[in-house]
Structures are given as structure tokens and as C-alpha cells.
Chains A and B, each alone.
Chain A
Amino acid sequence: MTDDFWNARLHVLLDGALQVWRIDAELTRDGDACVLRPTGASAPVFVRRVTHDGDAAYWTVSSESDSALAALLAQPYAGVQGMLRAVRDALDPTANTQRLVVGG
């Protein structure tokens, strides 16, 4: 998938996630990042999909506006699942979480 695919999808994905989490935040784009600015909070959250030729892509979730610095400092997340969890934890650290249960 191209970066264009992911840039477009990431915005839609995060926009929906904010509704799912019931978090009031402004969602904008800044270069290669999606930026979430929760109402009443000072620190924005930058979400990026980082790709390097020949390597697997990964996600970063950080408060860094600089892409290279974020890639250096932020913990990488291999998949959408980890990225979404990290974004929600950043926006709402007290959120209750559940795990999938395979029932009878």
C-alpha cells in the first residue's frame, strides 16, 4: 500500500476512533502526521506511519512535531492495534480497557 493510502485511511481511522472513545479532540494533518489536540490539553499527539525502503513499516505515537525526532524517540508499533492503543492511552490514560474473550 502506498503512503497516500495510509495517509487517507489514518485520518478516517482516527476520526472514527475519537468517536468510539468519546474523546473531544481536533484532528488535523501536519505533513506526514495526523495531529490530535484534545480539548483542554496542551500537548498534541502526533501519529505517523514510518516507512523505509526494504524495511517493514511501523507506527509512531508521540508529542514530537518533528518526524525524524519522533522516529528516534517514540516507541515503534508494528500494527494498527498497537498504534490505536497507544493513541488512546496518550489521550485518556484512565480509560477502561477490555480484552477479547473467546466464549462458549
Chain B
Amino acid sequence: MTPVTVLTGFLGSGKTTLLSKLIRHPDMARTAVVINEFGDVGLDHILLESSDENIVELNSGCLCCTIRGDLVVTLEDLLARRQRGDIMNFDRIIIETTGLADPVPILHALMTDKALAGAIRLEGVVTTVDAVNGAATLDRHDESVRQAAVADRVVLTKTDLADPEASNLPERLHALNPAAPVLPVTQGEIDPAQLFDAGLYDPSAKSDAVQDWLKVDFTHDHHHHDPNRHDDSIRAHAFTWTQPVHAVALTLFLEILAEHCGPDLLRLKGIVNLVESPDSPAIIHGVQNVIHPLLWLDAWPDDTHDSKFVFITKDLPGSWFETLLEAVNAEVAETIARRDNTSNLA
């Protein structure tokens, strides 16, 4: 399956500069790019200074609002043209969103479209935040908060023009999204290896990679209250669960989250110790009400076989997730115990 990376970031945060440098890197030679711009006349493809046939523009609106269908059609077309040999072969797709895009509906579309299932896999989200205006943008624009909150990698741009520490930007980004590394760059210069293979956890990766993927301090909610900021409503919650979870309980837990939290559950990640599979932990990954099929690790990455869950949410109470899992798991355990007692009596 062809990996797809969503490149997002607020207006003027350096997406196109970053993309321009990335696609010139030798390791990125076999990359197709889909660019989404507002307006009938796009400029980003010109700024990329390339006439590469593998660059496609989507100018009829914003991917997150009106043209998700167009995105799917474009991706299908790209894959078909590759199949026919009409364009240069590629083994990666990057989708650059508009600066005002909410990436969550885009991820949702990529994960749910039947036509794309089996042909692509969502690899991750790279978000640019600029050191000059990033803090003020987070204050003013909810879209920029959501872009940073769902990122697998945050690229901190324009660090040659301003000290991001002066506006407390790195700390703020970490509070919003503790699992995403913040990578400072100047002029878009970065090794592509730092950005890709980052999002949907790859079970073939090194065992300690899962620790990075879930890189969160599991001891407290990552939230600093400031009612004047947009990121006040978006929070990272994490908890560790020491008891094995029944597979049925995990399913019910995910169903309840989808039903009740759907649009406000921006991202969910986790490694789960299932009663039915104690030696092979399950990896879960979701966006809103869409959960990727479970992935399985061959072994635990360390000696602690605790389940770990990370949630990025908008206006949801973090402690509820743990209470909910506890209730559902207890109920399933009770049912199983009752069934076993009945069987023994019979």
C-alpha cells in the first residue's frame, strides 16, 4: 500500500518551502504530491519550481470542507495513472492542505474511503508552525491548534528569524501534543527520514519505536489553563491501565467512544494488553469515530505489559476515558465469570 502523508500548517507557516526542499531530496524522488489551494489559480505548484507530472493541484475549495470527494478521485486517478505507466512510478504521496484546513476530516476521509482501502495507508501528519507568528496564530485560530494537535511531527519553521522560546512556543506545542516531536528547521532544510514513517504505527519497526509513538508522560493531563487561548479546549490525555483488557471490552470501549465522542476525539493511539493475547500487544489508532484495524506486535517492547492510551480531544473530560474502560471491562469480566460459574455448575 502506498503511504500517504498529510502536510498541514497555518497560512504562511512554511509548508510550501518545506515541501519544495523535501521533493528535491534524493530519498524523495519517487513522491507524488497533491496540493490543495483556495481559489481558481493555484500558486504553490509554481513555488515548488517544478513541472513534475506527479504534482496535482486541487483548487476548487478546501479539502476539509468541500472537496474531500475530489481528493479521493484525485488519489484514485494518480494510482490508476501509475498503474498504466502514464506517470513516473511513485512510492509515496504527500497531500499539502490549505493553511486553513482542519486536517481531521481529511484523515477521516483517507481512512474510510472504500475505493482507497487496500491501495493507500495513512502514514501520518506533518504540521508546520512558524517561530515568528506561531504563538499568536495558536491564540487566534482554532484551525492552527487542531493542525498541531493531530500532528505526528511538528516542524518549527523560521527559527532563524525568531526565538521560539521567547513566545513559549515549544512548551505550548508539547502541551497540545506531547507525542509529537518538535523539529526546528530553517529554510525548510530537514532530513526526510525525520518526518516520514511516523504516524500509523508500523509493527515491523524496532520495538522501542512504539515508546516514541506513545511518547507521553502518563502521569497527568497535558493542559495549561488559559481561557484566552484557542488551545484551551484541545487537550492531550493519557493513562496507563495495568489490568489486561478483555477483547470484547476494548470493542465496546471503542464503540462508546465513537458514538459519544466522535467529532471531538481528534486522535486516539494506544498499546493494549488483551486477556486473549497477553504476549502480543495490540496497537490501536483512530481519528474521530474511525478506528484502524488492530495491529499486533510480536512481543512487548519492554518488561511492563501495561496498556497505554493517548487521546487528543476537544472539550472532553480526560478522566472519563479511564472510568469508562474500567466500567466496561468490569462488566465484561463479571459476565464471563458468571458464564464460567454456570458452566461449572452444569
Q: Does A16 contact B (CB under 8 A)?
A: yes
A residues less than 8 Å from B112 (CB atoms): 101, 103-104
Closest chain A residue to B121, Cβ basis: A104
Binds A, one of B98-106, B141-149, B215-223, B326-334: B326-334
Is B324 an interface residue when CB atoms closer than 8 A count as contact? yes
Bound-state CA distance A101–B333 (Å) is: 25
How many angstroms from the CA of A16 to the CA of B323 in the assembled complex?
9
Residues from 329 to 346 in B contacting A, C-beta threshold 8 Å: 330-331, 333-335, 338
Q: How far is the CB of A51 from chain B (nearest CB, A)?
A: 10
Judge whether A97 and B259 touch: CB under 8 Å. yes
Query: Given the known A-B contacts A20-B320, A103-B111, are A1 and B255 also in contact in the complex, defined by CB atoms under 8 Å?
Result: no
Against B, the Cβ 8 Å flags (1 = close, 0 = not) of A11-55 are: 011001101111000000000000000000000000000000000
Interface residue from B122, B291, B323 paired with A13 (Cβ < 8 Å) = B323
B316 at the interface (CB under 8 A from A): yes
Q: How many Å lie between the Cα of A13 and that of B323 in the bound state?
A: 6
Q: How far is the CA of A104 from the CA of B319 in the complex (A)?
A: 29
Write the chain A residue with the least CB distance to B324.
A13
In the complex, number of A-B residue pairs with CB atoms less than 8 Å apart: 100
Cβ contacts under 8 Å, A17 to chain B: 260, 320
Contacts A56-B335, A80-B256: A100 and B291 contacting too (C-beta < 8 A)?
yes
B30 within 8 A of A: no
Please indicate the chain A residues that have their CB under 8 angstroms from the CB of B258 in the complex: 98-101
Distance to closest chain A CB from B343 (angstroms) = 14
Q: Is the CB of B291 within 8 A of A56?
A: no
Answer whether residue B292 sits at the interface, using C-beta atoms and an 8 A cutoff: yes
B116 on the interface (CB 8 Å rule)?
yes
Complex CA distance for A97 and B316, rounded to whole angstroms: 16
Minimum Cβ distance to chain B for residue A49 (Å): 9
Chain A: CB-nearest residue to B260: A20
The interface on chain B, measured as residues whose beta carbon lies within 8 A of the other chain's beta carbons, has a size of: 45
Which of B270-329 touch A at CB < 8 Å? 287-293, 315-317, 319-320, 323-324, 326-328
The residue in chain B whose Cβ has the minimal distance to the Cβ of A16 is B320
Flag whether A72 is at the interface (Cβ < 8 A): no
Q: Which residues of A contact B324 (CB under 8 A)?
A: 13, 16, 80
Check: B118 CB closer than 8 A to any chain A CB. yes
Q: Which residues in A have their C-beta under 8 angstroms from that of B122?
A: 104
**Interface residue B252 (Cβ < 8 Å from any Cβ of A):** yes
Q: Is the CB of A98 within 8 A of B317?
A: no
Nearest CB of chain A from residue B295's CB, rounded to whole Å: 12
Cβ contact within 8 Å between B255 and A80 = no
B183 at the interface (CB under 8 A from A): no
Q: Which of A67-103 contact B (CB under 8 A)?
A: 79-81, 84-85, 88, 97-103
Asked whether A101 lies within 8 Å of B290 as measured between CB atoms, the reply is yes
A77 to chain B, nearest CB (A): 11
On chain A, the residues within 8 Å of B328 by CB distance are 79-81
Kindly identify which residue among B316, B319, B334 contacts A1, using a CB–CB cutoff of 8 Å.
Answer: B334
Point out the residues of chain B lying under 8 angstroms from A56, CB to CB: 335, 338
Q: Does B254 touch A at the CB level, under 8 Å?
A: yes
Does B261 have its Cβ within 8 Å of any Cβ on chain A?
yes
Contacts of A13 in B (CB 8 A): 320, 323-324, 327
B293: which of A21, A81, A102 is its contact (CB, 8 Å)? A102
Report the minimum CB–CB distance from B155 to chain A (whole Å). Answer: 26
CB-based contact B291/A5 at 8 Å: no
CB distance A16 to B289 under 8 Å? no
Residues of B within 8 A of A81 (CB): 252, 255-256, 259, 328
Q: Are A104 and B327 in contact (CB under 8 A)?
A: no
10 inter-chain pairs at a CB distance below 8 angstroms, sorted by A residue, are A1-B333, A16-B319, A20-B264, A80-B324, A99-B255, A101-B112, A103-B108, A104-B113, A104-B118, A104-B122
Q: Chain A interface (Cβ within 8 Å of chain B)?
A: 1, 5, 9-10, 12-13, 16-17, 19-22, 56-57, 79-81, 84-85, 88, 97-104
- Contacts A16-B320, A19-B317 known; 13 new A-B pairs at CB < 8 A: A1-B333, A12-B319, A13-B327, A17-B260, A20-B260, A56-B338, A80-B324, A80-B327, A81-B259, A81-B328, A84-B256, A100-B257, A104-B118
